[in-house]
């Protein structure tokens, strides 16, 4: 039978332990969710930057942008100061009038490309005459 005076000390301690485990679990879930959100945000920024650079390559005369056959590298900086290294490889394609351009952007230097995209660019007239 239950005592009319309330809970025992053992019952209160057990309830406190169970409640503590629940709170720790919830806090870990929040930490994991915040990390996932940061990763998605970085990927979204990289994707936007890649799309923007590829559109610029396609839209403008890529020779005027200083793009040549071979490998170019540089860094893109966002408004909030994050720096993303990029590499652009322009190689001859199987089509005689086109070069293949592959843009790779990494989340940090020394790491493999986080995102990669390829497109075809018209060859320069000087290349076609060779």
pTM over 0.85: no
pLDDT score, position 42: 73
pLDDT score, position 23: 94
Between CA 124 and CA 112 the distance in angstroms is: 30
Q: pLDDT tens-digit profile of 68-78?
A: 677 878 887 77
pLDDT score, position 120: 81
Q: pLDDT tens-digit profile of 56-101?
A: 776 666 556 666 677 878 887 777 787 888 888 888 888 888 888 8
Has residue 4 been placed in a domain?
no
Has residue 79 been placed in a domain?
yes
Residue 16 above 90 pLDDT?
Answer: yes
User: What would the two tokens of residue 50 be?
Assistant: 């890649």
Q: What is the mean pLDDT of the chain?
A: 78
Domain that holds residue 60: 9-129
Q: How many domains does the chain have?
A: 1
Q: What is the CATH number of the domain that holds 15?
A: 3.30.1300.30
Residue 18 above 90 pLDDT?
Answer: yes
Between CA 103 and CA 90 the distance in angstroms is: 9
Q: Which residue has the higher pLDDT, 129 or 34?
A: 34
Has residue 94 been placed in a domain?
yes
Q: pLDDT tens-digit profile of 102-129?
A: 888 887 655 565 778 888 877 765 444 5
Residue 20's alpha-carbon distances to 16, 25, 32, 33, in angstroms, are 6, 9, 19, 20
**Mean pLDDT computed over 1-7:** 67
Has residue 101 been placed in a domain?
yes
């Amino acid at each position: 039978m239950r005592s009319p005076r309330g809970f025992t000390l053992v019952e209160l301690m057990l309830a406190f332990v169970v409640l503590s485990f629940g709170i720790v679990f919830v806090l870990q879930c929040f930490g994991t969710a915040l990390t996932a959100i940061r990763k998605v945000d970085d990927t979204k920024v990289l994707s936007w930057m890649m799309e923007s650079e590829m559109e610029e390559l396609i839209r403008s005369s890529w020779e005027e942008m200083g793009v040549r056959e071979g490998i170019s590298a540089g860094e893109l900086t966002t408004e909030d100061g994050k720096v993303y290294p990029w590499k652009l490889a322009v190689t001859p394609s199987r089509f005689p009038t086109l070069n293949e351009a592959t843009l790779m952007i990494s989340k940090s230097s020394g790491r493999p490309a986080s995102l990669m995209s390829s497109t075809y660019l018209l060859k320069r007239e000087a290349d076609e005459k060779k």
